[in-house]
Structure 1
Amino acid sequence: MVTIRPIKQQDDASLARIIKHSLKSFGLNIPGTAYFDPELNNLSAYYAASPNRQYFVAVNEHGNVLGGNGIAEYGDEPGIAELQKLYLDKKAQGQHLSYQLLDAAVEFAKQTGYKKLYLETHHALTTAIHLYQEYGFKEIGHPLQTGEHSSMDRFFIMKL
């Protein structure tokens, strides 16, 4: 059985490992990706720094971290949140956990008062792109603003 819950400090190391391993497996351990985000090793502190942020973690019955995703404000764009860092451990893929994580993130974004959800991804992440499209995200063809993830080349938005 899998539980989706808010991040805890003890999840940080596992999540950093999952995210880095996933990006590296696609050759995306390069500047301009989450691989080099300064908060990557301390996600719990980053998401705890604002009530408008939250990171959700999928854990199995043994308490092992399987993956997660987050919601945070998107720059100065009013009413827009960014879906961030949706990654799963390779062993947890194919179990529809991404949908459960997205459900938790979208519900948080709605409750927090966001009106739209934005995300950036890379064309190599075809499974993720399919997931986002199936979930209701629409591709917009350009970033909303220039950000730190300059290697991302696919951009999506969804009205909440």
Structure 2
Amino acid sequence: MTAELRVATLDDLQTLVDLEAVTFPEDPWTPFMLADELSSPASRYWIATNEAGDPVGYGGVKVGGDQADVMTIGVAPHARGRGVGRAILDALLDWARQAGAAEIFLDVRPSNEGAIALYNSRGFVEIGRRPRYFRNPVEEAVEMRAPLTRARAKTTTK
């Protein structure tokens, strides 16, 4: 699958709400949370579309000083395993680096082995755990970090 990426705007709020509902049905972000992210000058979100132009994924990053945080990456269930998440993550890493961040952080469920493998392939390493971070179901978070130079260098690998 070839995913086309475009920067999301506040006009894309309903698209993100819809993607959030199918991607994380157990614990979706609220429309208010998503609108707040889309409105923040410190954040940048992308929407991935398939060949037909249908939205199949999204992701966002927030930069503050020399640090960045991957806020979310979500890929619709029918589009997983086709490189959509990788394309979104690479866009997040590139923008964070361009915005001046030297390192980037994220939290992921330990049960999300596919995401952890993707993050490892981009230079992320586990730096800790946060007990009871995720809800529905309750699960700890694996905290991960990558220096953006190393994370970016890894993006050339298939």
Which structure 1 residue ranges, 5 or more long, are not aligned?
none
Separation of aligned partners in 1, 2:86 and 2:60: 13
Separation of aligned partners in 2, 1:155 and 1:20: 24
CA offset digits 1:92-122 (Å, max 9, x no partner): 1111111111111111001100011100111
Whether the aligned pair in 2 keeps the contact of 1:84 and 1:119 (CA below 8 Å) is yes
TM-score, structure 1 length as denominator? 0.76
Aligned length: 142
Which structure 2 residue ranges, 5 or more long, are not aligned?
135-139, 149-158
Percent identity, aligned pairs only?
A: 22
Q: CA deviation at 1:48?
A: 3.4
Letter in 1 for 2:107: E
Separation of aligned partners in 1, 2:94 and 2:39: 18
- Check if 1:5 corresponds to 2:6: yes
Correspondence for 2:38: 47
Whether the aligned pair in 1 keeps the contact of 2:10 and 2:39 (CA below 8 Å) is no
Separation of aligned partners in 2, 1:35 and 1:158: 25
Letter in 2 for 1:111: Q
TM-score, structure 2 length as denominator? 0.77
Comparing both chains, which one has the higher relative contact order based on Cα–Cα distances under 8 Å and sequence gaps of 6 or more? 1
Q: CA deviation at 1:15?
A: 2.1
Q: Greater strand percent: which structure? A: 2
- Check if 1:150 corresponds to 2:133: yes
Q: Which moved more, 1:120-129 or 1:110-119?
A: 120-129
Correspondence for 1:123: 110
- Please tell me the root mean square deviation across aligned C-alpha atoms, in Å: 2.4
